[in-house]
A = this chain, B = another copy of it.
Amino acid sequence: MITTDVVDPGSIRALSKYARVFSSTALDEASLTQLLPSIDILLVFFWPSFLTPENLSRMSNLRLIQSILAGVNHIPFAQLDKKVVVCSNAGAYSDEVAEYAWSLLLSAAKRIVDFHNAVKTDQWTLRRTLGGKEVTILREKTLGILGYGGIGSAVARIGRGLRMPIYAFSRKSIREKGVRSFQGDKGLSRVLSESDAIIISLPLTKLTNKIVGSNKLATMKKDAILVNIARGELVDETALYEHLRTNPEFRYATDVWWYRDGKESLKTVNPFFELSNFIGTPHVSGPSGLTTGKPAKFAVVNVLRFLRGLKPKNIVDPAEYLVTDRQEY
């Protein structure tokens, strides 16, 4: 069962060779209710509102949930039977999100937003400088990447073009030219304290929730640049705000936002937009990847793998996602 309209007809035809495919958006409530017990596989984008805990409990045949979003923190793991395999769509957005991460990092490094707004409002003049502090040169500075999956390695590839040595924080050791690999909490501390620019491309799990908190921020370089294109909740909101307020050379550029009542929200507790060392955009990096059609195709290929009796890729560990306050998107 496909619960979204982002899947192309070609992909639906490919799935139809191996399965009876239903599109939930084409069904009325009565038909849906009747179908649910027979459904083996769910292909989901956002979590659909009709899949309430009650309806989900009636899906006794369910064996696979494939996400079209890269992350799976919107999946209600607590309500799933143990036999249900959940697959993320890691890798489907890598190039597009990596480009976006670089646009945030370079905008922050060169203070593009601030400069543009300052010239626009006649608050800057030519030949005025802040002794070179206005612009950060990235060449030969250290780039830290938290989470070295598809996005992380695409970020690194671009970083090598800028001649930046790369520190990767990940579960598995990375063997790649120009990349130093770090694991565990001690490794994370090393990456954060020694990097000049850091891009967060981690999944949001129980283990990574608020992984960048006040104690970690305190060890970072005073003029470091932190970029988040993963999930807002990976960074402690209030700790970050205090850090930005008291360290004007430190910069945070984000496309992702904290959750309010289980949903990502542009409304923050703290007034980030009053700070000139903050850049925020409305979660467009992933959607920009969607327009290529790649993410849906990528997810379908994984479902086809499962339908052919092969082990699907990107199986996540439910134990890492079992949280009471499930977050959408």
Smallest Cβ-Cβ distance to A128: which chain B residue = B282
User: In whole angstroms, what is the CA distance A65 to B223 when docked?
Assistant: 38
Q: Which of A111-141 contact B (CB under 8 A)?
A: 112-113, 115-120, 124-129, 131-132, 134-135, 137-139
Q: Which of A97-120 contact B (CB under 8 A)?
A: 99-100, 102-104, 106-107, 109-110, 112-113, 115-120
Q: How near does chain B come to A138, taking the closest CB pair, in angstroms?
A: 6
B291 touches A139 (CB 8 A): no
User: In whole angstroms, what is the CA distance A99 to B158 when docked?
Assistant: 12
Residues of B close to A280: CB separation below 8 A: 116, 119-120
User: In whole angstroms, what is the CA distance A117 to B112 when docked?
Assistant: 12
> What's the interface size class on A, roughly?
35 or more
Instruction: Choose one: B107, B139, B161, B289; the contact of A161 (CB below 8 Å).
Output: B161
A125 touches B282 (CB 8 A): yes
User: In whole angstroms, what is the CA distance A163 to B139 when docked?
Assistant: 19
Q: How near does chain B come to A233, taking the closest CB pair, in angstroms?
A: 15
B161 touches A273 (CB 8 A): no
Q: Which of A290-318 contact B (CB under 8 A)?
A: 290-292
Per assembly, the copies of the chain total 2
26 contacts between A and B (CB under 8 A): A95-B139, A99-B106, A99-B138, A99-B139, A100-B135, A104-B110, A106-B106, A110-B284, A112-B281, A113-B117, A119-B266, A119-B273, A119-B281, A126-B257, A126-B282, A132-B290, A132-B291, A135-B285, A135-B288, A135-B291, A137-B291, A157-B161, A158-B158, A158-B162, A161-B161, A161-B162
Instruction: Choose one: B113, B129, B139, B289; the contact of A112 (CB below 8 Å).
Output: B113
**Residue A248, interface by CB 8 Å:** no
**Residue A236, interface by CB 8 Å:** no
**Residue A265, interface by CB 8 Å:** yes
A110 touches B116 (CB 8 A): no
User: In whole angstroms, what is the CA distance A114 to B266 when docked?
Assistant: 15
Residues of B close to A245: CB separation below 8 A: none
